[in-house]
Structure 1
Amino acid sequence: MTRFLLDSGDPGEYKEISALFAKNQHELWGATTNPTLIAKKLAGSKISKEEALNLQKQIVLQIIDIVPGAVSAEVYANEHTKAEEMIEEGKEIATWHPRVVVKLPTTLEGFKARTALRQQNIIINNTLVFSCEQIFAICLHERIAHKQFGIKEAPYPCFISPFVGRLDDIGIDGISLVAHGIKMKQTYGFSPWILEASVRNSSHIQKGIDLKTELITAPLNVYREWFARKKQNDNVSLLPIEYWEPPKELFEIDTIEKFMQALESKKVAIEHELTTKGLIKFAEDWNAIIQ
């Protein structure tokens, strides 16, 4: 069963869309937030970094009262941010509420932070995902972390967020990455849930449902469009991503230390141009509200 999340930093939108879901015999289960969405509430005014984090916390806690499931909150990270900074902020975010999930970028430093936070049973949403290799790396890291750290069972597993719309923007079929992620999970018994993100239209929603992806997050206007049953014309010119079959030797990696060595040597390739661009855009949006 696919669960639905709203991609918004406005609690008012959650109340509106929750009512719309209920009217249509569906449930809004959770939320994804980030400083870009929260910045919209500031209408161009600037605040300190501490005030921005407190504002994010206030908004997340308001949303927690509206939805029954997970609410993702993002650490600050640009292409130069070190793991130690993400770990410190991730620990703070995780104290806000048991249903808060910490969003981390899918980068080398992000994986270092993921290691430390998973040791403390903090649930992670890996964001800015654009390749099968990234999905595999997250799944393998999670499997190794469970065995090495003895991670306790949680209400839901960690999330992986393929950014469908941003792939579409460069002529690549983002939905094909969601399909490959689901295939990889089923083939190898990986535990993280696929969270279809960067959803631009009702066709993205319907295709995610048809694929039986566990989670879909979309903005308010796209859900309105979907419930209005407005059909979208598919962009037939999009090129599908080829499925990547993980080499057998990668499954021999059985410790976090070996895993990190594989990332650093690029034996497991997680770099992606769109991940870097996403971090730069994220930092620009964040810095726009910080004085």
Structure 2
Amino acid sequence: MKFFIDTANLQEIEEAAALGILDGVTTNPSLMAKEGIKGNQAIYQHYKEICNLVDNNVSAEVISTDYAGILREAELLAAIDAKIVVKVPMIREGVKAIKYLSSQGVRTNCTLVFSAGQALVAAKAGATYVSPFAGRLDDISADGMALLGQIVEIYDNYGFATEVLGASIRHPMHIIEAAEMGVDVITAPLKALEALFLHPLTDIGLEKFLADYKKSQS
């Protein structure tokens, strides 16, 4: 399983990369706004700075919702760095754009996916990644993790190359459940990734080992 961090904060990306487990970054306009990044020039420069911190897979999202606009933005984003994956919304014009971009060798991430049907369409169009938003489905009392499992099964049935990218992952149990069902990638905030390191018995055990070592040196 690949671990992506869902943020536009450079310090958080550096911290995740330092852990030695980071495979990529996902961003969106909301995350950029949270960091106070305004204007296309500043946004594109920020994407470049993110690319400088990771080995690969930086999802950069288009804003346009029409076919020509999506392709125009995709060209600009892809030109920033070879690590860029163009993030395209799950809409008709977006799927058309994904089909064209994939034929040109441009990697894509189909975002805002909330159903197996949408994921199937994205895979047929040639998306590199498809991003079902598990946590947002949980927020409306739907089963977001069940959707991830359903998409994995469908893709396995037909041998689609599209990777399932579990998005809107909120906590470590989401990550473990996704891993159990064979999800290819998860993207999560730093807090959720760091929580995987934690267990009270580890802390208790380490404390005892260190206490016993100290006694042996007396």
Gaps of 5+ in 1: 143-156, 231-291
TM-score w.r.t. length of structure 2: 0.86
Measured against aligned partners, the alpha-carbon deviations of 1:70-106 in whole angstroms (never above 9, x if no partner) come to 11000004xxx31111111111101111110000011
C-alpha contact 1:91 1:117 (8 A) present in aligned 2:
no
- Give the AA of the match of 2:149: A
Q: How many Å separate the matches in 1 of 2:41 and 2:197?
A: 34
Alpha-carbon shift at residue 227 of structure 1 (Å):
2.3
1:33 corresponds to which of 18, 27, 30: 27
Q: Who is 2:156 aligned against?
A: 186
Measured against aligned partners, the alpha-carbon deviations of 1:89-146 in whole angstroms (never above 9, x if no partner) come to 111101111110000011111112223322321111000001110111112222xxxx
- Give the AA of the match of 1:36: S
Measured against aligned partners, the alpha-carbon deviations of 1:213-235 in whole angstroms (never above 9, x if no partner) come to 111100112222232248xxxxx
Q: How many Å separate the matches in 2 of 1:208 and 1:56?
A: 31
Equivalenced residues, count? 200
Aligned residue for 1:199, secondary structure, equals coil
**More relative contact order in 1 or in 2 (CA 8 Å, sep 6+)?**
1
Gaps of 5+ in 2: 201-218
Aligned residue for 1:121, secondary structure, equals coil
C-alpha contact 1:83 1:112 (8 A) present in aligned 2:
yes
Structural mapping, 1:126-275, within 5 Å: 126-142=110-126, 158-229=128-199
C-alpha contact 1:35 1:56 (8 A) present in aligned 2:
no
Q: Who is 2:42 aligned against?
A: 55
2:57 corresponds to which of 38, 47, 70: 70
Identity, in percent, stands at 34
Aligned residue for 2:3, secondary structure, equals strand
Aligned residue for 2:192, secondary structure, equals helix
Measured against aligned partners, the alpha-carbon deviations of 1:176-219 in whole angstroms (never above 9, x if no partner) come to 11111111111111110000000111111111111221111001
CA-based RMSD: 1.6
Q: How many Å separate the matches in 2 of 1:63 and 1:191?
A: 26
Aligned residue for 1:28, secondary structure, equals coil
Q: How many Å separate the matches in 2 of 1:56 and 1:6?
A: 18
C-alpha contact 2:170 2:188 (8 A) present in aligned 1:
yes
- Give the AA of the match of 1:96: I
Of residues 4-13 and 108-117 in structure 1, the stretch that sits farther from structure 2 once superposed is 108-117
TM-score w.r.t. length of structure 1: 0.65
Q: How many Å separate the matches in 1 of 2:187 and 2:128?
A: 15
Q: How many Å separate the matches in 2 of 1:55 and 1:207?
A: 37
Structural mapping, 1:104-119, within 5 Å: 104-119=88-103
